[in-house]
Amino acid sequence: MGSTGTESAAGAADAEDDRRNVSDATGFLVLGACAAWSLITAAAHGGRPEGVLLAVLAVAAGYASGRILGALLPVVAPAAGALAGLVLAVAAPHAMADPQFVSPLGQTGAVAALLTLSSGAACCAAWAARAAVPRLALRLSAAAVAVVAAALGSTTGLVASTGVLLCSLAADRMRRRAPALTALALVAALVTGTTWALAEDVMPAGLTTVLQDQLGPHRVLLWHDALTLAHRDPALGAGPGRFGELSPTATQSLVPDGKPHSAPLQLAAEQGLIGVALLAAVFCWVLYALWRTPRPTPIALTAGATLTALAVIATVGNALSFTMVTAEAGLLAGIATARPLADEGTAGRDHAEE
Of 182, 120, 149, nearest in space to 307 by CA: 120
The pLDDT, as a whole number, for residue 113 is 95
- pLDDT of the residue at 88: 92
Q: Which of 128, 11, 69 is nearest to 327 (CA)?
A: 69
Note the pLDDT of residue 215.
Answer: 87
Residue 197 inside a domain? The answer is yes
Question: Is residue 75 in some structural domain?
Answer: yes
Closest by CA position to 332, among listed 84, 25, 12, 4: 84
Exposed, middle or buried by CB within 10 Å (0-12, 13-18, 19+), for 215?
A: buried
pLDDT of 348: 44
Please choose, from the candidates 152, 84, 170, 154, the residue with its C-alpha nearest in 3D space to the C-alpha of residue 122: 84
The verdict on residue 351 lying in a domain is no
Nearest-angstrom CA–CA distance, 123 and 126:
5
How many domains does the chain contain in total? 1
CB 123 within 8 A of CB 174: no
**Residue range of the domain that includes 272:** 2-336
Domain-embedded: residue 116? yes
pLDDT tens readout for residues 261-320: 999 999 999 999 999 999 999 999 999 999 999 999 999 999 999 999 999 999 999 899
Q: For residue 175, what pLDDT is reported?
A: 84
Residue 201 backbone zone (phi > 0: left; psi -120 to 50: alpha; other: beta): left
Examine residue 350 and state whether it is found in any structural domain, yes or no.
no
In this structure, is residue 344 part of a structural domain? no
Q: Which residues contact 258 (CB under 8 A, 6 or more apart)?
A: 241, 243, 244, 245, 250
Residue 346 lies inside a defined structural domain of this protein: no
pLDDT tens column, 139-151: 999 999 999 999 9
Residue ranges in the chain whose pLDDT is less than 50: 1, 5-11, 94-95, 97, 346-349, 351-354
Q: What pLDDT was estimated at residue 258?
A: 80
- Please indicate, yes or no, if residue 47 is contained in any of the structural domains: yes
Quote the pLDDT of residue 352. Answer: 40
